Copies of this chain bind each other. A is one copy, B any other.
């Protein structure tokens, strides 16, 4: 690649040293304004492009952030985290960083194999998008690079985490159902599966408690096995009037099942979701759901990782970003006035 314009080329053309060119292009002190301007213009004219690799060598920073998504959260039907990645990648670019996506294979996660982006010093830090297994979290902690968890947390490890406010989101939307006259409300989700599903369940439970509605164990419906694979939903004998689903996709599946059984939503049952992802709009009727504020979460995570790169000891702890309820057509007011 000898045909690339370097600072030295510019320097020679103008009769100064490359140090001066460096200072000028980086807007540093110690170059007269005229010269600065002259250098900048010549650089532009010569088609100068900054060589990131050289800078990286000097300060040991790549200005790349590795965004790690466990394989099981990807696939044709699961675009949520990819959208998340897109948002992160956008925010990173605004901040002068780049996001390198790494899909963490199940075997690497189990085998505690660190991604090559780490082994090749390709990145300055990690954003981990989606719950990873405990041993892998431990493994990541042995690594000196900063990491921020997104959309999940792990209490033992005290890693910084940016999560959606699962608890209050579920609490709010359950309150909304109750305000609409519902009392027999089921929760759909494997409450032993992920922290998100658990916290959403607890928010739902809090709402019940506050309204002195007794928690009915038969109204906790399992939606997936412990590997995250969806299983056939089993409805209780005595049916509720409303369902709080732990995510929009499960709400979509539930509604399909109810329709198959000859029921109508929201006329026979009200259903709410969580996430506001593609399933919320694609479902007929549109889902009333809790929006995950992807943009705000991305912004926060990027600020965190940036600060941690500059200061290794910086801690942020667990930060919850509140989402709003998006009202669509899957809830019916059954209050008898």
Contact residues of A with B, CB < 8 Å? 1, 3-4, 49-54, 56-57, 59-62, 64, 74, 76-77, 79, 82-83, 85-86, 89-90, 93, 98-103, 116-122, 144, 252, 256, 277-279, 281-282, 284
The distance in angstroms between the C-alpha atoms of A101 and B74, with both chains bound, is 17
Bound-complex Cα distance A118 to B76 (A): 30
Across the interface, name the chain B residue whose C-beta is closest to A117: B98
A256-B278 contact in complex given A1-B60, A101-B89, C-beta closer than 8 Å? no
Q: What CA separation (Å) do A328 and B65 show in the bound complex?
A: 41
**Which of the residues B50, B99, B102 comes within 8 Å of A120, measured between beta carbons?**
B50
Picked from B1, B49, B144, B279, the residue with its CB within 8 Å of the CB of A3 is B144
User: Chain B's nearest CB lies how many Å from the CB of A51?
Assistant: 5
| Docked pose: A279 CA to B282 CA in angstroms | 9
Interchain CB contact under 8 A, A100 and B98: yes
Question: Given the complex, which residues of B lie within 8 Å of A83, measured CB to CB?
Answer: 76, 79, 82
User: A278-B76, A278-B278, A281-B77 are contacts. A52–B122 as well, Cβ < 8 Å?
Assistant: yes
Q: Roughly how many angstroms separate A37 CA and B246 CA in the complex, as a whole number?
A: 52
Nearest CB of chain B from residue A22's CB, rounded to whole Å: 15
**Cβ of A76: which chain B residues have Cβ within 8 Å of it?**
83, 277-278, 281
Contact call B89/A103, Cβ cutoff below 8 A: yes
Tell me the bound Cα distance from A121 to B49 in angstroms: 7
User: Of B116, B121, B144, which is within 8 A of A51 by CB?
Assistant: B121
User: Is there contact, CB below 8 Å, between B121 and A53?
Assistant: yes
Contacts of A86 in B (CB 8 A): 74, 82, 101, 103
What CA separation (Å) do A60 and B144 show in the bound complex? 28
Query: Contact: A120 with B79, CB < 8 Å?
Result: no
Q: Other than the known A3-B144, A50-B121, what 4 A-B pairs have Cβ atoms closer than 8 Å?
A: A49-B118, A51-B121, A53-B57, A85-B101
- List B contacts of A64 (CB < 8 A): 100
Q: Could you list some 17 contacts between A and B, CB below 8 A?
A: A3-B144, A50-B120, A51-B57, A52-B120, A52-B121, A53-B121, A77-B281, A79-B79, A79-B82, A82-B82, A85-B101, A86-B103, A93-B116, A98-B117, A98-B122, A99-B100, A278-B278
